[in-house]
Structure 1
């Protein structure tokens, strides 16, 4: 394939993505239980048509009194809904690092449906629902265009928005504002799919949920949620799990009250120990009246705490996810063992944590330079606080956290040097949670799970980032704009795909398609791997070592897993 042709296709895709050139036809009209919905045709990476229905509302706008409330089902659309244009993105922090997210609007609970062509009567295609990442604080369904995927594999593809950050996860830890609204949004979106996807030609009884990073964590949360038990059959989580530290809040009430005080919704010092619901009602009533701009000023990511993300609420997250993943009776009760699971992780997950740590250091140094404080000692204090946070989150029930911290510091420093926070945070956000999830599938003989390790070193990365940085696998699945990926991975040097990466893109999407269609990711790898990919078990711990020449691997990251297992035995 000539590089000129590759460049031309990227140009066509990017131009159409930016300018939203569309082809509208009266034949692209779906009469669903939710109402009549008008679609359009777009172009994929290869300049071939596919059908898209975008910006479809699945809930009442969470405005006014519905702010900080569970999403409410939407009444049937009275007139034909124009689904030819992208919907709104949910609000995100209005900071320079998130400037590529635009048009944030609280009326953002929308989903998008993509397919190869309009379905013929009697056909029922497999369905995949994708949940975007962004740490539960940023992100949007808008950039995730699966045109090449649906044209190659003829499945129904759904992408969704859900509330983020403060608006999605603020909680007073009581009945007034229990939180987890973003997770409830996803559940309602899946119910919409269950009720309506048949009109688009999809099989409502064979839905796969998928997601990357926070989306992967959301997938894992949903496999544990009683409310989602009958809404999907398969789960594919990439680079995230319910036990990922970035997706678990332990001081939701305190952070909610601190925020309320910062915007004038709380007089005096916040009292997180105050249990009166009247106290909470006054705070939430005030927050419901605030203009949107007050919420987008919030800096969502910190090194030593996860703020405004999912929490244990006793309902959709009944208990600590690590406890639930080790409770066979609970897993059986929510249908976890009845589902098929594909869990994946990249060979350079630490890239996102390196960027996070360096950015946090830079911001703190800038603040300290203005105040004249001792930058070196304050940076050291930040690192110490972050290390304690991560160890405490992993060993939440330990009464020996300081002793455990010393053991962790010694182990990591010997392997990664004094500045090991990047590796520690990467392990507890991505590596260990991957094994928490996949090993839960081994607790029943009837459950099947597969582990995929994206172990590729792409030619298109020319900068300092190597391997597959966190989130980079999206280029091998979606028609994802390269200009946006440059921002995501903080590398302006990404080039267009050559032959090797284009072939890998085909193989990766084929693995996902095989899992969606058959519940087994092995089929597309048969020529490259001598035997069928075995289900993950505690004996071989097999995984797909995914690269241009895939192989079977075993006991991935064994030394890290074994260290943390022993640490838990010693200090819990």
Structure 2
């Protein structure tokens, strides 16, 4: 678990961000493997569906304590569990030890799920109806558990919000990040045994605080493949349809990066982006995508990406360039892997539901006009922030959301809990209250329908189809991968 000493350095001065990200959490420690259970019925015969929340934070920060799960629990017939897992160096540092190749944070989640199986009935939960759900880094973790043979049978449904495992990976035995850490702690790297002996003598807090720059961490501090947890890369497992057969609800937000470039190395403001800035920074941004293919060369796809996204009729339009640059990040980090995972799950005839959260939240009226739904906006609705009561009377509200947004919050909770209960977000059987929500079409390989989630939701078909085929078929081929063409069983 990791926290930050100031909110301002993250650009999160607004009280609502402090409440979501830092509420109740005042310290961090490697001794963090605790969980919280929220329930309204302490009867072993209640058999309520169970939802296990895996917090976000890019797997380098975050806490189970910062999400008010008591709100959706109080309003719905569900037991919620929020869990901690080790993050950053303490959770993902690779070694050469056979029993410690990496992925410790993900193994922590498996241990928490084993605890849920053994104990949740005492809190009114049904161990045969467990849904794992998470956002951002938590969404990555959920998707990795769907891909991991070690997690088979520990959960029955999954929800990934703004994060699916199309991400950089580390091959088992690659200890570059460990050597980086050793250098930062004045440990030798000339001898592996001496390096590890030195690292083991360092205080845990010192190990946790030596963090490489964001790009380095995401490239070299990522999940380890080639071990029991992930026998192959997530991309290979998804394209081979080697996933746990569980119902899956997954999606992302329409403007995940807001004013920030994906790797946070350039601010995208109202003046837009020059062609030179675009071409100079693009290779670094694309490393997020190419580093899921070990040994791939990012330079092979730079020009094809430029050709795909740049508007030949507006080559110097800085606003258009900025907007397309952001779309590249959203497509590579979120949309393309989400579609790939949806296809892998749907191939097993399990129930799959895809969404795009599109609502521009009135509370964030000061945001630039081109930003619709930014990264994390869905969380305020899922955890009931528009419904938090104020202190000036029974009809007052803590935060200034509209009545439509309060209804959207109730709708999102209903969709999520219905899915956890029945495997169908439209099926309100067993609900505490029935809501008249827009029908959410099931995603299938043939229809590829999804829900445009908003105050007035509607169905869509084949989200950004051309771009998804570009990233999930054409680009992998350019990087030397054998790819199954849409609608074909041939590799």
Residue in structure 2 matched with residue 423 of structure 1 by the alignment: 327
CA contact (8 A) 1:303 1:360 kept: no
CA contact (8 A) 1:144 1:480 kept: no
The worse-fitting range, judged by mean Cα deviation, of 178-187 and 449-458 is 449-458
Residue in structure 2 matched with residue 53 of structure 1 by the alignment: none
Written as runs of structure 1 = structure 2, the 5 A alignment for 1:1-20 is none
Residues 154-206 of structure 1: CA deviation (Å, up to 9, x unaligned) = 21100001000001001125426411100000000000111111111111121
Does 1:450 pair with 2:373? no
| Aligned match for 1:168, one of 88, 91, 95 | 91
Q: 1:220 to 1:402 in 2, by over 3 A?
A: same
TM-score if structure 1 supplies the norm length?
Answer: 0.69
SS at match of 1:417: helix
CA contact (8 A) 1:528 1:551 kept: no
In structure 1, C-alpha distance between the alignment counterparts of 2:295 and 2:344, rounded to whole Å: 20
| Aligned match for 1:497, one of 375, 395, 401 | 401
Residue in structure 2 matched with residue 45 of structure 1 by the alignment: none
| Structure 2 unaligned regions, length at least 5 | 13-21, 313-319, 389-397, 429-433, 481-491
Residue in structure 2 matched with residue 230 of structure 1 by the alignment: 153
Q: 1:383 to 1:191 in 2, by over 3 A?
A: same
CA contact (8 A) 2:92 2:105 kept: yes
In structure 1, C-alpha distance between the alignment counterparts of 2:387 and 2:170, rounded to whole Å: 33
CA contact (8 A) 1:130 1:209 kept: yes
Residues 217-270 of structure 1: CA deviation (Å, up to 9, x unaligned) = 11111111111101111111111112234xx346951111021022112156xx
Residue in structure 2 matched with residue 461 of structure 1 by the alignment: 364
| Structure 1 unaligned regions, length at least 5 | 1-89, 269-278, 363-375, 484-493
SS at match of 2:166: coil
Residue in structure 2 matched with residue 122 of structure 1 by the alignment: 45
The worse-fitting range, judged by mean Cα deviation, of 180-189 and 343-352 is 343-352
Q: 1:504 to 1:479 in 2, by over 3 A?
A: closer
SS at match of 1:318: coil
Does 1:414 pair with 2:311? yes
CA contact (8 A) 1:351 1:470 kept: yes
| Aligned match for 2:458, one of 524, 531, 551 | 551
1:458 Cα offset (Å): 2.1
CA contact (8 A) 1:442 1:538 kept: yes
SS at match of 1:431: helix
Tell me which structure has the larger Cα radius of gyration.
Answer: 1
The worse-fitting range, judged by mean Cα deviation, of 226-235 and 293-302 is 293-302
Q: 1:559 to 1:345 in 2, by over 3 A?
A: same
| Aligned match for 1:112, one of 20, 33, 36 | 36
In structure 2, C-alpha distance between the alignment counterparts of 1:110 and 1:461, rounded to whole Å: 33
In structure 2, C-alpha distance between the alignment counterparts of 1:127 and 1:499, rounded to whole Å: 29
Residue in structure 1 matched with residue 344 of structure 2 by the alignment: 440
Residues 59-89 of structure 1: CA deviation (Å, up to 9, x unaligned) = xxxxxxxxxxxxxxxxxxxxxxxxxxxxxxx
| Aligned match for 1:178, one of 72, 92, 101 | 101
| Aligned match for 1:209, one of 132, 137, 141 | 132
1:148 Cα offset (Å): 2.1
Residues 453-481 of structure 1: CA deviation (Å, up to 9, x unaligned) = 11212222212253221111111111459
TM-score if structure 2 supplies the norm length?
Answer: 0.80
Root-mean-square deviation (CA, aligned residues, Å) is 3.2
| Aligned match for 1:294, one of 189, 198, 206 | 206
Written as runs of structure 1 = structure 2, the 5 A alignment for 1:390-401 is 390-393=288-291, 396=294, 398=296, 401=298
CA contact (8 A) 1:132 1:160 kept: yes
Residues 88-147 of structure 1: CA deviation (Å, up to 9, x unaligned) = xx235768736956311121110000012x423522111110000000001111111112
Residue in structure 2 matched with residue 326 of structure 1 by the alignment: 239
Residue in structure 2 matched with residue 44 of structure 1 by the alignment: none
Written as runs of structure 1 = structure 2, the 5 A alignment for 1:90-109 is 90-92=1-3, 97=9, 100=22, 102-109=26-33
1:411 Cα offset (Å): 2.2
The worse-fitting range, judged by mean Cα deviation, of 403-412 and 148-157 is 403-412
| Aligned match for 1:345, one of 252, 268, 277 | 252
In structure 2, C-alpha distance between the alignment counterparts of 1:545 and 1:395, rounded to whole Å: 31
| Aligned match for 1:517, one of 421, 430, 439 | 421
